[in-house]
């Protein structure tokens, strides 16, 4: 079973709880990776779900760092978690989901646990980003969480294509205008320009 095959089950589980579901969301801290699945509902903290085909050390690490963004973080896999993995989850405060035909909550996040990560300055920043994404619909486009990155595919390539289309109509558009007019996940026009240029897309 691939990570991406878990996504529809997690998506249905979050939607049943009233969340809008986004996939492959950029992290707000110093890490180039993406968050597999995010659930957003106005007035509630975002929910993060990291996907793997097994309950590994890497999954535990991803779930732990996810608490930089929100206290509601889950590690999800189709196998049975080991006692050691559950101990990690308990220690670091993230929840555990076993994914089969439906979602089984094996362990809930320890929301009230004292954990310096939970007081992170990134919480508000991440919530603000999720609110913006839902408003623009930039990550509600059928993207599948847990899909491995492939050359030529991804959010940056999608935005680069939109930039190219916009410049056909407005060839003198500056990066500030592009940032304001094109739905995107970047922090500002400088980060948008730098990210696309670093990938040879602009």
How do residues 61-70 score in pLDDT, each as one tens digit?
Answer: 899 888 888 9
* Three-state DSSP class for residue 116: helix
- Pick from 15-24, 129-138, 158-167: least confident: 129-138
Is the Cα torsion angle 39, 40, 43, 45 positive or negative in sign? positive
- Pick from 18-27, 82-91, 149-158, 179-188: least confident: 149-158
E strand spans, the chain:
20-26, 34-40, 47-51, 72-77, 95-99, 103-107
Fold for the domain defined by 3-136:
Trna Endonuclease; Chain: A, domain 1 (3.40.1350)
Residues 124-155 have pLDDT tens digits of 888 888 888 888 776 665 555 555 544 455 66
Which are the contacts of 83, defined by CB distance < 8 A and separation ≥ 6? none
pLDDT of res. 162: 85
Pairwise pLDDT comparison (184 vs 147), residue with the higher score: 184
pLDDT of res. 151: 47
Spans of all domains in the chain: 3-136, 155-198
pLDDT of res. 122: 78
- To the nearest whole number, what is the mean pLDDT of the chain? 83
Pairwise pLDDT comparison (19 vs 179), residue with the higher score: 19
């Amino acid at each position: 079973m691939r990570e991406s095959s878990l996504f529809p089950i997690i998506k249905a589980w979050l939607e049943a709880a009233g969340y809008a579901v986004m996939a492959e969301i950029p992290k707000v801290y110093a890490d180039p990776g993406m968050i597999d699945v995010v659930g957003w509902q106005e007035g509630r903290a975002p929910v993060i779900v990291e996907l793997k085909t097994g309950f590994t050390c890497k999954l535990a690490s991803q779930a732990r760092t996810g608490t930089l963004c929100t206290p509601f973080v889950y590690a999800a896999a189709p196998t049975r978690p080991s006692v050691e993995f559950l101990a990690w989850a308990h220690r670091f405060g993230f929840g555990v989901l076993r994914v089969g035909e439906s979602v089984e909550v094996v362990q809930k996040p320890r929301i009230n646990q004292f954990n310096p990560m939970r007081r992170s300055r990134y919480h508000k920043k991440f919530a603000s980003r999720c609110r913006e994404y839902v408003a623009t619909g930039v990550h509600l486009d059928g993207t599948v969480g847990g899909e491995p990155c492939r050359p030529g595919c991804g959010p940056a390539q999608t935005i680069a294509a939109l930039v190219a289309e916009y410049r056909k109509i407005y060839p003198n558009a500056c990066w500030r205008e592009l940032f304001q007019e094109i739905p995107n996940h970047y922090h500002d026009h400088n980060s948008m320009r730098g990210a696309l240029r670093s990938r040879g897309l602009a």
